[in-house]
Amino acid sequence: MQTETELTLSPQEKFELWRYPKQTTHSTLRAWDASDLYLVNELKSENKKELNMLIINDSFGAISCMLADIHHLSWYNDSKVAALALDQNLACNQIDLNKIQRLTTLTSDELITKNYHKIIIKLPKSIAYLEFILTLIHQAGLPNCDVLLAGKASDFSPNIIKKLKSLYDDVIPSRIVKKSRYISLSGQKSQTLQFNYWQPNKEKFNDLITDSAPNVFSRGKLDIGGRFLADNLPSIAEHAHILDLGCGNGLLGLAILKQCPTVNVDFYDESAMAIESAQHNCLLNEFNLDQTRFIQDDCAKTAQDTHYDLIVCNPPFHQLNAITDHIAEQMFTDAYRILKPGGELRIVGNRHLAYQQKLMAIFGQCDPITSNQKFVILSAIKN
């Protein structure tokens, strides 16, 4: 019986594909979806080889693994976890990691230099991020490059279709297969595009200015969970070492620097744009960068043991479209390792999530600090 990590394209093409971190063997979650398969099968049916191809937002590297043997691939993703997943799945399938060139940034100059034949985009959750990607492609002006945008059919909203038609003469949707489709884009229209990379938040917290890059969660508005935690921070000793874990645009770390300007704050997130936003906002609010560090990481995997006095965290409970608590659990486990004895992890979470039980299992104790109709704030002390 085929498991959820085994993918068969043909009798000669079989792949072992995992999410990152690896899901349990009985999990129903997959590292690919129907749109990945649909798109790859269509590309393989063209019988073209050695095309210069860029793949954007391939979350676990499934598309890249399936195409690595026939095309020259470049790969870009904002996510550290996606990069780790790509390496993991290439290794699982004995594919040379050097077969795929990883781009750490995406610019129109990069697109012009590489002269891609095809650019494949997995439809991102963030419409602003999609607009950013399409604007760069448009600015590069690649007349011989086809763009393919793949995803769940229901996620192609009227606004997305309208945006695509404003950029391209030919916007050709595929048939819907297993609730998925791809859209072929060609015939780029001549126009000057403007895209605001930095989106200011409409509401300030404690007079802090916070901008967000295109792929940052809650772009343009204050996340209500993060604000609730920022309103309920503990008292902080001078010169303490603080970690804003899963920092997003850096609101919690900024609020701590505003409350106690002598502390040292590290900002960790798996999104490069989140780290960029946190650093941008520290500069925007004129904080001393000598007291801060900005690190893209898988939770806090590379952080030093027993280093922090306080960790603040607003953990996610989604990975892509799947509801899951494994990211929060990894954050809690990392936090226990890197806190000093007596150090505190303070988190905010939706009331329905079982975070208190998980923190009890890791820390041995966990206390509720306060709650409202939607959120609860929890504190766990490392003994």
> How much is the pTM?
0.94
User: If we measure between CA atoms, which residue out of 120, 110, 137, 151 comes closest to residue 55?
Assistant: 120
Helices (DSSP H) in the chain: which residue ranges? 34-45, 62-67, 80-92, 108-114, 127-140, 158-167, 224-230, 251-259, 272-284, 326-338, 355-363
Per-residue pLDDT, 363: 98
Structure tokens at 282: 């520290």
Residue 197 CB contacts under 8 Å (≥ 6 apart), including other chains:
132, 213, 214
Per-residue pLDDT of the chain (383 residues; tens, 9 = 90+): 456 899 999 999 999 999 998 877 777 889 999 999 999 999 999 988 888 999 999 999 999 999 999 899 999 999 999 999 999 999 999 999 999 999 999 999 989 888 899 999 999 999 999 999 999 999 998 888 999 999 999 999 999 999 999 999 999 999 999 999 999 999 988 877 789 999 999 888 999 999 999 999 999 999 999 999 999 999 999 999 999 999 999 999 999 999 999 999 999 999 999 999 999 999 999 999 999 999 999 999 999 999 999 999 999 875 556 656 788 999 999 999 999 999 999 999 999 888 999 999 999 999 999 999 999 999 999 99
The answer to whether the beta carbons of residues 226 and 314 sit under 8 Å apart is yes
Domain ranges of the chain: 6-188, 199-381
State how far the alpha carbon of 32 is from the alpha carbons of 47, 66, 200, 332, in Å.
22, 11, 34, 27
Angle at 77 between CA 193 and CA 32, to 5 degrees: 120
Helix, strand or coil for residue 177? strand
**Cα–Cα distance between 274 and 117 in angstroms, integer?**
30
| CATH classification code of 199-381 | 3.40.50.150
Q: Which CATH architecture has domain 6-188?
A: 3-Layer(aba) Sandwich (3.40)
Topology alike, domains 6-188 and 199-381: yes
How far lies 282's CA from each of 184, 241, 256, 275, 291, in Å? 41, 17, 12, 11, 10
